[in-house]
Amino acid sequence: MTPTEAKKRIAELRAEVVRHAELYYRQAKPEISDRDYDKLERALADLEKEFPQFAKKDSQTAKVGDDRLAGFSTYRHRQPMQSLDNTYSEEEYRAFHQRLAKQLEREALSYVVEPKIDGLAVSVTYEKGRLTRAVTRGNGEEGDDITVNAKTIHSLPHELKAGRKHPVPDVIEIRGEIYLTLEEFQRINQEREEAGEPVYANPRNLAAGTIKQLDSKEVARRKLEIVLYGIGFCEPSVAESQSGFLELVKHWGLPTVEKFWTADGIDEAWKAVGELDKLRHAFAYGTDGAVTKLDSFPLRRAAGSTSKAPRWAIAYKFEPERAETKINAITIQVGRTGVLTPVAELEPVQLSGSTVSRATLHNRDEIERKDIRVGDYVLVEKAGEIIPAVIEVNTKRRTPACQPYKFPGKCPECATKVVQLEGEVALRCPNYDCPAQIVRRIGFFASKPALDLDGMGGIIAEKLVERGLVEEPLDVFGLKIEKLAILNLGSNDEPRIFGEKNAQKLLDAISHARELPLARWLLAFAIPDVGEETAHDIASLHKNLEEVADSQVLKDYVELDRLNDEMLRNSPASKENKSKSDEEKDEMRPEWERFKSAADDLGQRLIDAGVAKPAAGENPVPRKANTKVGPIAAKSILMWFQSNRGEATLKRMKELELNPVSQQSSSGGSAFFGKTVVLTGTLENMSRNQAQEKIRALGGNVAGSVSRKTDFVVAGPGAGSKLDDAKKYGVKVIDEVEFQAMIGVT
């Protein structure tokens, strides 16, 4: 290659690498595989080495990918977070050792080999054992402050377990990866598919997209996990080796790598890499390689690092297993909300230890983008090492018989014309009575997190609908043993009868579901935007379905959101209104003030009632209060109960005598929920302690003195000045009999 050609190629490669680094790190929406990205970056680095006159200090090859986003405040790492050199070849892996041995002038080097976790890098700081901050890698020097979101990760302790043998330092930065389990990844993607939203290609992207959400409530709904393995800044020093540090991390109660190896020399390390490759598929997180690090911290310091990565570590990346196979057909699945999902029916092929015969193609756009046709030979890979995905078509093997795929214009199940809703990628069957949708709805209704109707698996639901025994999920509560026992699960020619025993088991599960708490039912109705967590939150605010259907709290949540929106719309200082004249801005001011104060009033009222928390930070304004349920879910649930479907559901529930109550029924809708109560005088049937406990269990607060903010005074014989205060402030006074009735004791 001539220097002129090299210069041009370097410029091209740089632009490509920068674009893909942006897609990967900042947007979590890569267009190419990690392997292809590594190849691009390597090609650029090689050329820069060969033609140093064109190398640039700030080339992507010399710095870490930047993940910082607008909307987050940044935080400077006490010790920079670097990247890792990586390789796919054993030869280069061994050359890493040779280089180090030469530099450190010693042949015998001990290493630690760890899984390379396919998540997103994070640094968590503990000060005197308390979690104070979580920050993304950012540009290595400073990253986005994601503390609030990271605190929603259940496995991340807010406090380190200190011990005599493993004391906690004053300040420590611990490095690790945030990831999503396969189960969670599939759950969320399925939800997104159903909602007509684009799906994430692998768990890493979804985890990255999640932690960078501005709404931490949403983050909590997606159950992120964390694994910690590295040490950053630490004062005073606590460990002198990686293996020692990993043991400490475990003692402190932090989640860490499932397994690591200590190896004397590169041969042993290479053996460990091989062992890891065999074990890694059983790990909770996706792994894309093995990280080999010098064990000794003093030796690490001696080895030092380049601008991008330490010289004392290397990542050996496993080649993603891929296979070529033929698409025999494309079938269409109709989901619970009518979304049509195309599925590639593949010629079965072995991939990473299992046979793959189907892969989702997600939606019509995806088929068009990759130009996937029936009869094509395609490359399949397991996305995030787990889920089979069609990567690309091998167009060289394409025959003229392979014609572009025509997405059906009608639902394959009920022949209704499909529609595309605005802003959605998905096509949907709009027929609510489409048998496929009913079957899916029943499947969801019966699923474990919903009503857990064991035995109501796919085929049973399908046959119940096919034979006309069930037309909507609630119909299962009307099923009778006589008909259920003789349900034919086979065909007319080859009947297969469900049987009395199985039927009874299913009916037992159905009868058990009658007693399930409100939250499970709210989930079972499959109301848009209401997932497990939200269903629980909603249930905790209400006593029963009727209360939810006409919920003042939810209406208040929606109203608070509206007031905030209006305030912003009328704000003379907002970006949108920047171009307005000073006069126009002056005119807007009173409106802005009006919405601002209304939002503050409502926010404060919700905080006082205990159904919202003040926003984070010092001196937060009440209008920014964190409501227990987000406005989107609140709106969705109110709309659902007002819709024909919601009304019919409530009516049918009554007919079937189904009346689920909140587990905190006691708390959720109780008269004391979020209320401040003062006790005065003596109670005859319970001690004051018992009464206090009961009020707290019902979600109320017990105060010692009466003020304007008191909601109730419970007054027994001998009540004194508190009763006078109650009268003065106009606070409601109840006696013990009323109190007992309100707490459900008669």
Q: Which residues are catalytic?
A: 116
Q: Which stretch binds ligand IVH (CB under 6 A): 79-87, 332-340, 459-467, 473-481?
A: 79-87
Q: Which stretch binds ligand IVH (CB under 6 A): 78-86, 320-328, 570-578, 590-598?
A: 78-86
> Minimal distance in Å, beta carbon 183 to ligand IVH?
21
Candidates 310, 435, 449, 614; binder of ligand IVH (CB under 6 A) is 310
Between 24 and 739, CB nearer to ligand IVH = 24
Between 173 and 194, CB nearer to ligand IVH = 173
Q: CB within 8 A of 201, min separation 6: which ones?
A: 29, 30, 383, 389
Candidates 121, 334, 553, 683; binder of ligand IVH (CB under 6 A) is 121
Q: Which stretch binds ligand IVH (CB under 6 A): 309-317, 518-526, 576-584, 717-725?
A: 309-317
Tokens of residue 664, six digits: 């905190």
Residues 174-203 that bind ligand IVH (CB under 6 A): 177
Residue 327's H or E segment, with its range, is strand 322-334
Tokens of residue 587, six digits: 């005119």
The whole-angstrom separation of Cα 81 and Cα 309 is 9
The whole-angstrom separation of Cα 679 and Cα 693 is 12
> Minimal distance in Å, beta carbon 414 to ligand IVH?
48
> Minimal distance in Å, beta carbon 35 to ligand IVH?
13
Between 257 and 470, CB nearer to ligand IVH = 257
Instruction: Assess whether the previous peptide bond of 348 is cis (omega < 30° from 0).
Output: no
Reduced 3-state DSSP string for 328-394: EEEEEEECCCCEEEEEEEEEEEEECCEEEEEEECCCHHHHHHHCCECCCEEEEEEECCCEEEEEEEC
Q: Which is it for the CA torsion 163, 168, 174, 177, positive or negative?
A: positive
> Minimal distance in Å, beta carbon 380 to ligand IVH?
25
> Minimal distance in Å, beta carbon 291 to ligand IVH?
4
Q: Which stretch binds ligand IVH (CB under 6 A): 88-96, 109-117, 267-275, 564-572?
A: 109-117
The whole-angstrom separation of Cα 558 and Cα 541 is 15
The whole-angstrom separation of Cα 349 and Cα 538 is 46
Listed in sequence order, the DSSP H helices in 609-681 are 631-642, 644-655, 665-668
Between 291 and 516, CB nearer to ligand IVH = 291
Q: If binding is defined by CB under 6 A, does position 116 make contact with ligand IVH?
A: yes
CA distances to 93, 308, 311, 319, 673 from 90, in Å: 5, 22, 17, 12, 64
Q: Which stretch binds ligand IVH (CB under 6 A): 80-88, 578-586, 590-598, 645-653?
A: 80-88
Q: If binding is defined by CB under 6 A, does position 83 make contact with ligand IVH?
A: yes
Q: Which stretch binds ligand IVH (CB under 6 A): 77-85, 462-470, 543-551, 623-631?
A: 77-85
> Minimal distance in Å, beta carbon 214 to ligand IVH?
23
CB-nearest residue to ligand IVH: 121
Q: If binding is defined by CB under 6 A, does position 146 make contact with ligand IVH?
A: no
The whole-angstrom separation of Cα 733 and Cα 280 is 64
The whole-angstrom separation of Cα 7 and Cα 23 is 24
Between 257 and 451, CB nearer to ligand IVH = 257
The helix/strand count (H/E) of the chain reads as 26, 22
> Minimal distance in Å, beta carbon 212 to ligand IVH?
15
Q: Which stretch binds ligand IVH (CB under 6 A): 97-105, 116-124, 240-248, 415-423?
A: 116-124
CA distances to 56, 124, 235, 256 from 166, in Å: 45, 18, 14, 16
Q: CB within 8 A of 183, min separation 6: which ones?
A: none
Residues 229-258 that bind ligand IVH (CB under 6 A): 229-230
Tokens of residue 583, six digits: 């006069």
Q: If binding is defined by CB under 6 A, does position 45 make contact with ligand IVH?
A: no
Residue 458's H or E segment, with its range, is helix 458-466
CA distances to 88, 539, 626, 696, 743 from 667, in Å: 58, 10, 19, 9, 10
- CA neighbours within 13 Å on the CB side: how many for 71? 10
Q: If binding is defined by CB under 6 A, does position 32 make contact with ligand IVH?
A: no
CA distances to 371, 373, 395, 398 from 401, in Å: 14, 10, 13, 8
The whole-angstrom separation of Cα 103 and Cα 105 is 5
Query: Rounded to 5 degrees, what angle do the CA atoms 453, 454, 457 make?
Result: 95
Radius of gyration of the chain (CA): 31
The whole-angstrom separation of Cα 441 and Cα 335 is 8
> Minimal distance in Å, beta carbon 258 to ligand IVH?
11
Q: Binders of ligand IVH: how many residues, by CB under 6 A?
A: 14
Between 67 and 711, CB nearer to ligand IVH = 67
Between 291 and 706, CB nearer to ligand IVH = 291
Q: Which stretch binds ligand IVH (CB under 6 A): 47-55, 82-90, 680-688, 709-717?
A: 82-90
> Minimal distance in Å, beta carbon 320 to ligand IVH?
15
Q: If binding is defined by CB under 6 A, does position 84 make contact with ligand IVH?
A: yes
Candidates 66, 114, 385, 736; binder of ligand IVH (CB under 6 A) is 114
Between 257 and 598, CB nearer to ligand IVH = 257
Candidates 28, 199, 220, 313; binder of ligand IVH (CB under 6 A) is 313
Candidates 315, 383, 474, 661; binder of ligand IVH (CB under 6 A) is 315
Q: Which stretch binds ligand IVH (CB under 6 A): 307-315, 420-428, 489-497, 616-624?
A: 307-315
Query: Rounded to 5 degrees, what angle do the CA atoms 726, 727, 731 make?
Result: 50
> Minimal distance in Å, beta carbon 683 to ligand IVH?
59
Neighbouring-strand partners of residue 235: 171
Binding mask 649-688 for ligand IVH (x = CB under 6 A): ----------------------------------------
Between 210 and 664, CB nearer to ligand IVH = 210
> Minimal distance in Å, beta carbon 65 to ligand IVH?
9
What one-letter code names the amino acid at 560? L
The whole-angstrom separation of Cα 511 and Cα 430 is 32
Candidates 109, 201, 291, 425; binder of ligand IVH (CB under 6 A) is 291
Between 116 and 336, CB nearer to ligand IVH = 116
> Minimal distance in Å, beta carbon 50 to ligand IVH?
24
Q: If binding is defined by CB under 6 A, does position 37 make contact with ligand IVH?
A: no
Between 86 and 626, CB nearer to ligand IVH = 86
Q: CB within 8 A of 6, min separation 6: which ones?
A: 47, 50, 51, 54
Task: Name the residues that contact ligand IVH, by CB under 6 A.
Answer: 82-84, 114, 116-117, 121, 177, 229-230, 291, 310, 313, 315
